[in-house]
């Protein structure tokens, strides 16, 4: 059997005595881990209707049980459907129905999420019960549903849903295997390594960049619940040498107080995508870690890897077939041109959609969603939905999602380049740039900013910072700036801009809004859109915003709104904003 399927790779580890799973004070060898997984697969297959698709939903957190369900699907040759445990009500039910799950395997923590849902034809199995133990214990020897081939589906993984309803991506055995083998080789992972997996295991990043490299290398796996404050403690406790990430975890961790001994840890590699240049450099320095960041999506149809010499802000050059196309003309966009300060001067003709002109790559389609498949595959090419531009040397720069286009004073602007500029400020932890209605015609630029703990920022300081950025065009200068307690995000730490857009210039308690006059550069507090009681007739909050521990959202006293006082921007502790 060739090593191009998860089934084959797991079968090779059936007698492996090295450690496979570490969880709290418990450990399992690969032999023990896979024996348990095989028993689960045998029980599920014995109860399954062979006339229906053998699809098993997993509504679980990052636990040994979730790891066992993944291995069971691999060994058993059926499809595991990773259900997003942050979905609720009819949205969750729709995911179960769309993926044709015969079973949903869950636990005591997540079982209540299924109460009252219309899931006719789906059997709910609670792994916390004695009945589950009896169900698995009574299983005989495993006879796989099928001996899979490379392009057979291993899992269904739902997209993050940042721009609409999640779609069920069919992740093939080959996609998981090639990613695992590549990363294990790239970072020289062996059975002496430990992979720290704190991104949700129902998402592709944890599967292909966390679990799969461990399967391919024999490294141990630590299924963890993400916590910025306990991250370093976990790394030391488990002896973690490798971690994966997606979205903003590096920013959350860097927002915690630095200590002199932070670099005294066993971690040597952090691999993921969507971190910004500032966080990549700072995380590497602070923790003594090699950080490798690339471009990725659940579909895995557009492959771009950073390489030595990649300019700041670029995600790399891209594999053969990767290009930037105008979706209206279906032609390649013009090469990006920049002024002397490095600002993009031809966004209208240079910014387009990232495509794979060779086809769908490893992407085998969304399950049970022909309309979404038709949207992605047009004119014989895969259209990613990501905006980008390319310089004369072939380097690609992200410009946001297709919904991130803004039309300001007759000029098209992309959000991502503005976000990269704002993140240069050392007080800024996270930022989202998006469009709000102009009131006359087109859009105005709005930025929501979360500050690092212990940092302050005044409107005057922010104005001076913008003045010093030579590559920030006047039209890209935000009209509104929201100093936010937190940013709404998915379970994988991707910002939900559609929620920010829906809120417009309304801000929450403990937040402030700065407004710039249409032709000016100075920021002042927006007179009727202040957060908290101060915006409703009380004293106005100061234009100095202080991000302090113990402020709003941390159990401390409410932020002061007296003139000259500091307004807390602390918000949700990233230690408690866990994806699972």
- Based on its alpha-carbon atoms, the radius of gyration of the chain, rounded to whole angstroms, reads 24
Are 155 and 207 in contact by the 8 Å Cβ rule? The answer is yes
**Last residue in a domain, options 261, 294, 327:** 294
Residue-wise pLDDT tens digits, 499-547: 999 899 999 999 999 999 888 889 998 854 443 322 223 333 333 444 3
Q: What is the rounded distance in angstroms from the CA atom of residue 203 to the CA atom of residue 189?
A: 22
Q: Supply the CATH number for residue 176's domain.
A: 3.40.50.12780
Same domain for 282 and 137, yes or no, is yes
DSSP 194: E
Collapsed DSSP state (helix, strand, coil) of residue 27? strand
Are 194 and 239 in contact by the 8 Å Cβ rule? The answer is yes
Whose CA is closest to 98, among 142, 158, 150, 50? 158
Same domain for 398 and 483, yes or no, is no
Whose CA is closest to 11, among 177, 171, 231, 164? 177
* Residue of higher predicted confidence among 526 and 565: 526
Same domain for 233 and 213, yes or no, is yes
Are 57 and 121 in contact by the 8 Å Cβ rule? The answer is no
Q: What is the rounded distance in angstroms from the CA atom of residue 434 to the CA atom of residue 504?
A: 10
Residue-wise pLDDT tens digits, 339-393: 998 889 999 999 999 999 999 988 899 999 999 999 999 999 999 988 999 999 9
Q: What is the rounded distance in angstroms from the CA atom of residue 57 to the CA atom of residue 79?
A: 9
pTM: 0.81
Angle, in degrees to the nearest 10, between helices 30-47 and 130-137: 90
Q: What is the rounded distance in angstroms from the CA atom of residue 353 to the CA atom of residue 334?
A: 12
Residue-wise pLDDT tens digits, 149-176: 999 999 999 987 766 678 999 999 999 9
Are 403 and 497 in contact by the 8 Å Cβ rule? The answer is yes
Are 367 and 166 in contact by the 8 Å Cβ rule? The answer is no
Counting the structural domains of the chain, the total is 3
Encoding tokens for residue 88?
């609720």
Same domain for 270 and 201, yes or no, is yes
DSSP 95: H
Residue 306 belongs to some domain of the structure: no
Encoding tokens for residue 16?
């492996």
Q: What is the rounded distance in angstroms from the CA atom of residue 459 to the CA atom of residue 449?
A: 12
Residue 305 sits at the vertex; the CA angle it makes with 303 and 308, to the nearest 5 degrees, is: 160
C-alpha to C-alpha distances, 527 to 35, 405, 442, 477, nearest whole angstrom = 65, 28, 23, 20
Are 324 and 383 in contact by the 8 Å Cβ rule? The answer is no
Same domain for 119 and 192, yes or no, is yes
Are 365 and 394 in contact by the 8 Å Cβ rule? The answer is no
Residue 576 belongs to some domain of the structure: no
Are 294 and 179 in contact by the 8 Å Cβ rule? The answer is no
DSSP line for 127-176: TTSHHHHHHHHT--S---S----TTSEEEEEE---SSSS--EEEEEHHHH
Q: Do strands 79-82 and 55-58 pair parallel, antiparallel, or not at all (unpaired)?
A: parallel
HEC string for 45-58: HHHCCCCCCCEEEE
Q: Do strands 428-437 and 352-356 pair parallel, antiparallel, or not at all (unpaired)?
A: unpaired
Same domain for 487 and 372, yes or no, is no
Residue 304 belongs to some domain of the structure: no
Same domain for 75 and 165, yes or no, is yes
**Most confidently predicted of 66-75, 333-342, 466-475:** 66-75
Q: Supply the CATH number for residue 540's domain.
A: 3.30.300.30
Residue 392 belongs to some domain of the structure: yes
* Residue of higher predicted confidence among 554 and 182: 182
Residue 300 belongs to some domain of the structure: no
Same domain for 144 and 258, yes or no, is yes
Same domain for 429 and 522, yes or no, is yes
Q: What is the rounded distance in angstroms from the CA atom of residue 443 to the CA atom of residue 351?
A: 18
Residue 192 belongs to some domain of the structure: yes
Q: Supply the CATH number for residue 377's domain.
A: 2.30.38.10
Same domain for 107 and 214, yes or no, is yes
Collapsed DSSP state (helix, strand, coil) of residue 404? helix
Mean pLDDT computed over 389-416: 87
* Close Cβ partners of 116 (under 8 Å, ≥ 6 residues apart): none
Q: What is the rounded distance in angstroms from the CA atom of residue 391 to the CA atom of residue 312?
A: 13
Q: Please state, for a pLDDT cut of 90, what percent of the chain lies above it.
A: 74
Are 461 and 454 in contact by the 8 Å Cβ rule? The answer is no
Q: Do strands 290-294 and 19-23 pair parallel, antiparallel, or not at all (unpaired)?
A: unpaired
Collapsed DSSP state (helix, strand, coil) of residue 556? coil
**Residue in the structure block whose two tokens are 């286009």:** 405
Residue 450 has pLDDT above 50, yes or no: yes
Encoding tokens for residue 430?
């996270």
Q: What is the pLDDT of residue 534?
A: 27
Q: Which of 33-37, 413-417, 508-512, 575-579 has the lowest mean pLDDT?
A: 575-579
Collapsed DSSP state (helix, strand, coil) of residue 93? helix
The boundaries of the domain holding residue 233 are: 6-294
Whose CA is closest to 238, among 208, 289, 193? 193
Q: What is the rounded distance in angstroms from the CA atom of residue 39 to the CA atom of residue 137?
A: 7
Angle, in degrees to the nearest 10, between helices 30-47 and 64-76: 70
Q: State the alpha helices, DSSP H only, in 423-577.
A: 459-467, 497-503
Residue 158 belongs to some domain of the structure: yes
DSSP line for 296-357: --TT--S-B---TTPPTTEEE--STTEEEEETTTTEEPPPP-B-TTS-BS-HHHH-EEEEET
Same domain for 366 and 488, yes or no, is no
Residue 553 has pLDDT above 50, yes or no: no
Residue 286 has pLDDT above 70, yes or no: yes
C-alpha to C-alpha distances, 341 to 243, 337, 350, 394, 473, nearest whole angstrom = 36, 11, 18, 20, 10
- Mean of all residue pLDDT scores within the chain: 88
Q: What is the pLDDT of residue 520?
A: 84
Same domain for 35 and 58, yes or no, is yes
Collapsed DSSP state (helix, strand, coil) of residue 281? helix
Mean pLDDT computed over 267-290: 95
**Last residue in a domain, options 372, 403, 434:** 403
Residue 136 belongs to some domain of the structure: yes
Whose CA is closest to 165, among 467, 371, 451, 399? 371
Greatest alpha-carbon pair distance for the chain in Å reads: 75
């Amino acid at each position: 059997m060739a090593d191009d399927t998860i089934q084959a790779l797991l079968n090779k580890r059936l007698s492996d005595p090295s450690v496979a799973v570490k969880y709290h004070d418990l450990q399992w060898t690969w032999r023990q881990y896979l024996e348990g997984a095989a028993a689960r697969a045998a029980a599920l297959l014995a109860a399954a209707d062979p006339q229906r698709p053998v699809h098993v939903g997993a509504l679980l957190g990052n636990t040994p049980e979730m790891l066992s369900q993944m291995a069971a699907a691999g060994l058993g040759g059926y499809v595991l459907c990773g259900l997003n445990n942050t979905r609720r009500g009819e949205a969750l039910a729709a995911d179960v129905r769309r993926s044709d799950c015969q079973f949903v395997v869950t636990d005591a923590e997540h079982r209540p999420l299924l109460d009252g849902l219309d899931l006719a034809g789906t059997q709910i199995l609670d792994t916390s019960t004695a009945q589950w133990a009896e169900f698995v214990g009574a299983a005989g020897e495993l006879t796989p549903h099928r001996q899979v081939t490379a392009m057979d589906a291993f899992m269904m993984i739902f997209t993050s849903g940042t721009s609409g309803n999640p779609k069920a991506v069919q992740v093939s055995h080959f996609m998981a295997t090639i990613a695992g083998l590549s990363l294990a080789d790239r970072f020289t992972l062996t059975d002496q390594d430990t992979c720290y997996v704190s991104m949700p295991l129902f998402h592709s990043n944890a599967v292909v960049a966390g679990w799969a490299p461990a399967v391919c290398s024999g490294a141990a796996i630590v299924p963890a619940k993400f916590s910025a404050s306990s991250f370093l403690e976990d790394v030391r406790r488990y002896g973690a040498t490798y971690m994966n990430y997606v979205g903003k975890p590096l920013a959350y961790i860097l927002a915690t107080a630095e200590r002199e001994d932070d670099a005294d840890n066993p971690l040597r590699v952090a691999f993921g995508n969507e971190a910004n240049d500032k966080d990549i450099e700072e995380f590497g320095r602070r923790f003594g870690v090699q950080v490798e960041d690339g471009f990725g999506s659940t579909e895995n149809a557009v492959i771009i890897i950073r390489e030595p010499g990649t300019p700041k802000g670029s995600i790399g050059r891209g594999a053969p077939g990767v290009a930037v196309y105008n979706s209206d003309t279906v032609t390649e966009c013009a090469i990006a041109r920049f002024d002397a300060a490095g600002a993009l001067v031809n966004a209208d003709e240079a910014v387009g959609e990232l495509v794979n002109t060779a086809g769908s790559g490893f992407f085998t389609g969304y399950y049970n969603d022909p309309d979404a498949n038709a949207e992605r595959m047009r004119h014989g090419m895969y259209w990613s939905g990501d905006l980008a531009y390319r310089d004369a040397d072939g380097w690609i720069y992200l410009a946001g999602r297709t919904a991130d286009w803004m039309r300001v004073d007759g000029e098209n602007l992309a959000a991502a380049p503005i976000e990269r500029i704002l993140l240069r400020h050392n007080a800024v932890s996270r930022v989202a740039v998006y469009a709000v209605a102009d009131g006359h015609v087109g859009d105005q630029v709005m930025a929501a900013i979360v500050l690092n703990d212990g940092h302050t920022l005044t409107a005057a300081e922010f104005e001076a910072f913008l003045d010093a950025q030579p590559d920030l065009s006047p039209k890209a200068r935000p009209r509104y700036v929201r100093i936010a307690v937190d940013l709404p995000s998915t379970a994988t730490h991707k910002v939900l801009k559609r929620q920010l857009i829906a809120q417009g210039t309304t801000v929450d308690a403990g937040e402030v809004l700065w407004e710039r006059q249409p032709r000016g550069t100075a920021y002042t507090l927006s007179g009727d859109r202040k957060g908290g009681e101060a915006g409703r007739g009380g004293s106005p909050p100061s234009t100095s915003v202080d991000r302090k521990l113990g402020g709003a959202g941390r159990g401390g006293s409410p932020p002061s709104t007296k003139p000259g006082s500091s307004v807390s921007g602390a918000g949700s502790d990233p230690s408690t904003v866990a994806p699972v």
